[in-house]
Structure 1
Amino acid sequence: MRASGYTCVDVYLPWNFHELAPGRWSFEGRRDVAAFLDLAHEVGLYVIARPGPYICSEWDGGALPAWLGLDGELGVRQNEPRYLERVIAWFDQVLPLLAERQHPANGPVIMVQLENELDFFDCTDRPGYLTALREAARGHGITVPLIACSGQGDLAGATGDVDGVVPACNFYPDDDSPDIEAEVRRYAALVAERGVPLLVTETNRRHRTLRRLLAGGAKLIAPYLQSSGWNFGYTPSSGNWGRPGNFMSHGYDFGGYVTSTGVERPEYAEAQVLARVVEVWGDRLAVAVPGALDTEVACDFPTSSDPAALGFPEGGRLVAVAHLGTAPGTAVVRGVPVAVAPGSCPLMAVDVPLRPWGMDATLTLASADLVAAADGVLVFSSDVPVTVVLDGTRTEVPVSERQAVGGVALVVLPTAQAARLRSVEPGGTVQVDDAPHRPGESAPSAVHEVRRRRDRAPEEPAGLHALPPALESLGVYRGRGAYRTATDLTDIDELLLTGAADIVDLSVAGRSHPPIAGFGAARRIDVRDVTGSVAIEAVVEIWGHANFDDARLPALRLGALRGLGTLWKVRTTTDVSSLWTVHGHWAGTPAPTRALGGWSSTRVAAPVGYSRTVHSPPRRRCVCAGSSNRCG
């Protein structure tokens, strides 16, 4: 990451990765938070730490320990005493590690995130909940900014509007959308009313999109995620991506600039070039003001519906020209036609004084990224010819060439070389390394070995139970559990399995049924060819707990437990699809009778109700004789 030019790493700290069982903590080996933070500090990376308590992140249960679901009165992600008691226990373990390593005193931690995308969740007391988390963080000596990210743009829903909790935004737009800049500028204005900059704590990975966010006013840009990898050891979740009940893959690669096996993709060079752009403009980017485009731009290719520009206080601006097409194109900027490569978004300098680099001139227009500047030298990165207007003199500079205008050397490097740019001398000498450029690095960092140890596995529980218990109640939070029973299936045609999750391998009388992965939904099991007293066996695997609160299936609710659920004998069935009365729309009195869902209406999306009284079969009477305590 440091070699790519990025300056900060954003890291989740999963609660249930460190609390292996209630009250049993581990911060060693793979779980050594302090070692990770110290290594980031050593190589020159800042850290945004996200200890939750909830992190989502396609991680088992969103990092909430599975045993929290055993307490029916405990409300996860709520301002509720039982839950907050457990959260404080977690914070008591992890926050001191962060407090000891805060920037600038002793380490790299520049921000701490509380919660994660709370605006997706039905929290009944957001101000109370966030206040409790804030007080816990401040109580442990966290003095860096506390942030809370909104997942769907509801700033108040994410922060509870609590003082001292800075709102941040997660943006996941379509990379080809023409409307990204307009959305970003709106949120930049909203947070500016609160006196804070726009922090984009998660977004797409494509650097063309990152440039558009920068031009729209984002001061922190954190693509999720650039360095790919895996989730090991039953740490993935079961969630709702795509359709209810998807199993999250152990492979965790969303097109990052480094693959899970460490191979650099083309976006890696894009990262290095953008890092040079940020480096060359320096503090001016921090104080630049976003705004609508005040420079006339016309394009013969698809582009933004509302292009953005950053204005510098001392004069001049950067104009983002996004090419959303696939063919070479031309933009006309201030009446000057310039070439723009497909899929790119050059940050074009307009009316920028060059005094900070020791040149008494004004860069009227540059159609490509400025990646380096020294006394008398300007270096640009581009894969198409660059147009430069310097003090009114227009010059076209081909790729990999240089020209001099008014005593200023103009150099154009292709992306691959600009990514490896090392230094620029005042005389115009440009040095390009074979190895990637590491901005601000003085010496390579040593590789540290992290010692690993095997955590003690929980003892395998066993025993007799009246009903199948949840695996979590037996101390099984990841892995498998086995269930065995015997029952009489005489005159039973089917069984009904309810509440089973995640993966159930069921065997009845020695016959295996196809694996069941219904996430708690009821499943009918055909046993018509089985009779008498038989054995029923099941092996249930916990793939992962839900990381997102999805009400469509029982096991996808946040905090839902895992296990076999309940297996019922079905003695009788009744078809209740007919004889429903219809209420709503224009249905009059007496209410019409239809099949369930059979009312036809032109009122699209308007609610309609169906009602029917369903009588269960009469219960068989139990006659007890004498004192034998046997009932039949």
Structure 2
Amino acid sequence: MNMETKSGVPLQLSASSLRIGGQAEIILCASLFYFRIPRALWRERMEQVKAFGYNAIDVYFPWNYHERAEGSWDFTGERDAEAFLQQAAEAGLWVVARPGPYICSEWDGGGLPAYLYAKPEMTIRSADPAYMAAVKKWYERIIPLLAKYELNRGGTVLCVQIENELDFYDCPDPAAYIAALRDLAIEGGIESPLIACAGQGGLYEASGLVDGVVPTCNFYPNDRDPAFEAKAASYERRLAEMDVPLMVTETNRSHFLLRRLLSCGAKLVGPYLQVSGTNFGFTNGTNNWGDPLAFMTSDYDFHGMISPEGHVRKEAYEGRLMRRVIRNYGNALAEAATAPADGIASIDGGKPAGGSLLERQLELVGGGHLLFLANVGETAETVALRLRQQGEAVIPQATRLQSIPSRCAILPVDVPLETWGAEGTLRYATAELSDVFRAAGRTVMVFHAELGQEGEISLALGQAATLLEARNMNANGVQAQTHAQEQAQDQAEAGEILLTFRAEAGRQAACTLELADGQTLVVIGLERQDALLLHGIEEDGSLAFEQEQAYDLEPHELNIGWSAQVLQPTESMSEASPTALVEAEFLEEHGIYRGFAWYKANSGAPADADVQGLLILQGSDAISLYADTAFIGTCTPGGGSRFLPSGGVGGNCELTARVEIWGHTNFDDARLPGLRLDSMKGLRGITAVSGIQRLTSNWRVLRVGSRIADPALLGAACDDSDWAFVSFGGWLSPDHPAFEYYRRRFTASGKADSFTLQFKGIQSLAHVYVNGVSAGHVNPFDPYLDITAHVQPGEETLVAVFLERVLGLPAGEVTLYEGSAARNWQLSACGEEELLAHAQRHEADAAPSELPIALAAGGTAWLYGSLPEEARDIPGGWRVEAEGSGMKLTVLLNGTIVGRLWTAGGAARPVFSGGDQRSFYLPGAWMREPGNGLAILLEAVEAGETSQLERLIFTPVGLPAERNSGEG
């Protein structure tokens, strides 16, 4: 493959460097997503990123954020991607642009428009012509925009990523697909390097290894994985063979891990989501972070440097410190080659009992090395290093070196002081060098060590040095004052200086040396926390510090005027006339891609039928089911089926299913139908169950040794009279895995027209055949199977199951649900705009209310809150926590959905992931004058229980915490 970078392009890549305009750089790249941050705050977030050490941002461009329906494009207002790129250029931040077409990002559908899923002839994320024709329409809009802001055209776009972690997806031909995307990007004007990231290490599967596309790596290890350096370094070597550097386009957010990546030669380090945000509107995704299904929260926060509302967290200071260390070594580090640390040093006495590691080093250009001492353990430990290049000398010589958990100290060895314009060598330091300042004959070097620990710095100056002053620092191991100062002076004559200090909070240690050439060298030692808050070095060599940003996190009382309007829960919120359907169909097939929908149908059961429950077929995401006005329950089947008991419901009733598309899955997982990337939402039917047959007993069983099913053993012609009789899955087999055929007959109800099997509790894999014909597969996550197409009512039916079991795991209890399929379907829906219109229509009828507010099971209501004028006095806005039980909330601020929550507790609630499950953010930028209002749709979703919203707790955003100015 040809990885040669185009000549004349500002970004040039080689095995050992990443150059921008000819200058070697280390890129620290923070995710910053315009679609999760109010436009008024884009620049503020950019400045925060810059202030804390990052020189680049990566940004996805979600296709479905801009093409809201097929052929309907929007790049205005909050969706103005060009304005975002312009602001990034003005802020001086390089941009790694990621236009997909698929982006993942825990976003609705991973950015793919849901209308694609309703095209059965299309194969997504492949070179399929139908899919590529749709992608072309997206690329024709987004690619020229990115090209306009490339570095060589006055913008700051460094490179463009096509696709995203394709190696997680079963793409039939990665090379053909990536090549097709590459060609579209080039046709659209992209001249910068194109990249493709591997999510689980499959460079070919992610990039096709096609010419003109650079593979990059995404790493999400346990930050304390002791073997991580070996993995990262192996990819660095593989990429170096292609003459490109290791670029880590996604990884975890701790700078402990980022330092370890730096040791492995990474030239671009991109921790994912250092700047958090919010999934406004109906943009949340669903994915496999649960059991396996998970709903993504509106709050999108992996605890990076900047919170969703813009609060600076402690980790941000680690980012700034890391950048200062990188900047100190400049080009020498930016072009450094990674190598095993044992080439120059090792931990004396072998690997310690704790978690200390010395795995990698960087060989600095111009001489010298950086050692990376990491501690992946739980406790601090004292270590010593043996330096091979210094005659097997063991350091430190006069102090102790402590290795601290979750720290990766960057320690210099044999670094020429010429790096900073001085003579001599920094032989070694057990304290980290964080800052160097040089001006007017003075060089100031600032080192730091952990609180209470010692730092040791060895200098070979190559010239005589006069000790002018020492404060809280020992020179040559002797306190530098009075008579002791004379002793230190003698040793300084040869220019061999050993400095030691103890790191104490708020105390500077310093040593000032006058060199024979007239230059002054000042060495300062700080405690690490003080170093994190070091803002800079002044012209006179003094240090300027800042206070850590702290915020008022105490709730504030707001005098909110509440009112409520109880709704008819079975009524659609859409003003449009419903669409008549022959049968239930998925929502995307009717142009419904987000929001709520209402299915209405006749149960199909005779009036005198004893309906024992309702069975939802192929349903997702959140479905609340009613029979006439009776609430049956809420469920989240994940695209599978679900039986809801409903004793007392008569036949011939009207069924209503209120369905919310929480979000299309952003990740492909075969365990649940709703987790397939092209899965659709809604439901495919409801059965009024009038008969339940327990079929677990009396199956014929045959043990075999082959994984390949034999058709001769599946049909009616097979004589199974000599097979043993057992309960389903009950044969005790010595085989692991065990392959078994189970056969059983039942007589189908003559009054039913819908038949579904459930294998409750199955922990095996089952292929089900009905009357000799394959009816489908069953697994532990999707234990229902609709066999209606293979059953004749009133006739005997043969069920044969080819079962694969491991280590005797259960095969489950077998149940047959028989009943009547619902009919005479109608469908209506509403998105965000229609939901707002519904709220506005009912507000005039709302009655004064107050919290707590309770709703009977299945009830719905609008809760309106008129925010007082003082709410606008907090420029940052508010973080609001909801307390309650069994209640689902959709929260609108001034007409925009700012949060969707499901209060804790109850059997109906799914797993939530991705951020804070209890709260939502009211952006101050979206407050207006006069009058700010909340409209909250309340849904009581727990069957048999009253749901309650206890209270909403308002905490201001961005207010500084009061500091104690007195001594303490």
Q: TM-score, normalised on structure 1?
A: 0.89
1:64 paired residue number: 112
Counterparts of 1:269-308 in structure 2 under 5 Å?
Answer: 269-293=317-341, 294=343, 295-298=345-348, 302-303=354-355, 307-308=359-360
SS in 2 for 1:260: coil
Cα 1:460–1:175 change in 2 (3 A) is farther
Query: Take 1:311 and 1:510, find their aligned partners in 2: how far apart are those partners?
Result: 74
Tell me if 1:596 matches 2:728. yes
SS in 2 for 1:199: strand
Tell me if 1:513 matches 2:632. yes
Query: Take 1:83 and 1:30, find their aligned partners in 2: how far apart are those partners?
Result: 28
Deviations 1:355-411 (A, max 9, x none): 121221111111232222235332123333311111253221233211246743211
Cα 1:86–1:459 change in 2 (3 A) is farther
Tell me if 1:76 matches 2:124. yes
SS in 2 for 1:395: strand
Tell me if 1:612 matches 2:743. yes
Cα 1:530–1:341 change in 2 (3 A) is closer
Q: How far is the alpha carbon of 1:591 from its aligned partner?
A: 5.7
Q: Which amino acid aligns with 2:458?
A: V
Which of 484, 489, 495 pairs up with 2:600? 484
Which of 358, 371, 392 pairs up with 2:434? 371
Q: Which amino acid aligns with 1:608?
A: F
Query: Take 1:155 and 1:74, find their aligned partners in 2: how far apart are those partners?
Result: 26
Tell me if 1:86 matches 2:134. yes
2:587 paired residue number: 471
Tell me if 1:108 matches 2:167. no
Tell me if 1:584 matches 2:704. yes
Query: Take 1:500 and 1:292, find their aligned partners in 2: how far apart are those partners?
Result: 54
CA contact (8 A) 2:224 2:406 kept: no
CA contact (8 A) 2:374 2:406 kept: yes
Deviations 1:288-317 (A, max 9, x none): 111111212247563355611111232211
Which of 478, 485, 499 pairs up with 1:395? 499
Which of 229, 239, 258 pairs up with 2:277? 229
Cα 1:22–1:264 change in 2 (3 A) is same
1:346 paired residue number: 409
The alignment-based identity, stated in percent, is: 38
Query: Take 1:459 and 1:11, find their aligned partners in 2: how far apart are those partners?
Result: 37
For the aligned residue pairs, the C-alpha RMSD in angstroms reads 2.5
Structure 1: which 5+ runs fail to align?
438-456, 622-632
Query: Take 1:306 and 1:610, find their aligned partners in 2: how far apart are those partners?
Result: 56
Deviations 1:604-630 (A, max 9, x none): 4x3523342656637469xxxxxxxxx
Query: Take 1:95 and 1:40, find their aligned partners in 2: how far apart are those partners?
Result: 17
With 178-187 and 256-265 compared, the bigger mean Cα shift is at 256-265
Q: Which amino acid aligns with 1:402?
A: A
Structure 2: which 5+ runs fail to align?
1-48, 387-393, 461-495, 516-520, 550-572, 708-719, 751-791, 795-968
Q: TM-score, normalised on structure 2?
A: 0.59
CA contact (8 A) 2:700 2:723 kept: no
Q: How far is the alpha carbon of 1:559 from its aligned partner?
A: 1.4
Tell me if 1:170 matches 2:170. no
Tell me if 1:336 matches 2:395. yes
CA contact (8 A) 2:356 2:377 kept: no
Cα 1:574–1:3 change in 2 (3 A) is same
Which of 656, 660, 676 pairs up with 1:537? 656
Deviations 1:547-603 (A, max 9, x none): 11111111111111111321124455544434142333599x976554333233454
1:431 paired residue number: 543
Which of 357, 361, 370 pairs up with 2:420? 357
Query: Take 1:274 and 1:432, find their aligned partners in 2: how far apart are those partners?
Result: 18
Cα 1:34–1:69 change in 2 (3 A) is same
Q: How far is the alpha carbon of 1:117 from its aligned partner?
A: 0.7
SS in 2 for 1:482: strand
Q: How far is the alpha carbon of 1:125 from its aligned partner?
A: 1.0
Cα 1:278–1:566 change in 2 (3 A) is same
Cα 1:13–1:614 change in 2 (3 A) is farther
CA contact (8 A) 1:179 1:306 kept: no
Query: Take 2:149 and 2:329, find their aligned partners in 1: how far apart are those partners?
Result: 29
CA contact (8 A) 1:301 1:325 kept: no
2:61 paired residue number: 13
Query: Take 2:64 and 2:638, find their aligned partners in 1: how far apart are those partners?
Result: 21
CA contact (8 A) 1:386 1:397 kept: yes
Cα 1:488–1:174 change in 2 (3 A) is closer
Q: How many residues align?
A: 599
CA contact (8 A) 1:376 1:426 kept: no
Q: Which amino acid aligns with 1:379?
A: V
Higher strand share: 2
With 349-358 and 325-334 compared, the bigger mean Cα shift is at 325-334
Query: Take 1:614 and 1:92, find their aligned partners in 2: how far apart are those partners?
Result: 58
Query: Take 1:147 and 1:612, find their aligned partners in 2: how far apart are those partners?
Result: 53
Query: Take 2:228 and 2:262, find their aligned partners in 1: how far apart are those partners?
Result: 11
Counterparts of 1:303-322 in structure 2 under 5 Å?
Answer: 303=355, 307-322=359-374
Q: How far is the alpha carbon of 1:520 from its aligned partner?
A: 1.8
Deviations 1:447-469 (A, max 9, x none): xxxxxxxxxx9984622111123
Query: Take 2:735 and 2:443, find their aligned partners in 1: how far apart are those partners?
Result: 71
Q: Which amino acid aligns with 1:297?
A: I
2:883 paired residue number: none
SS in 1 for 2:126: coil
Q: Which amino acid aligns with 2:454?
A: P
CA contact (8 A) 2:333 2:365 kept: no
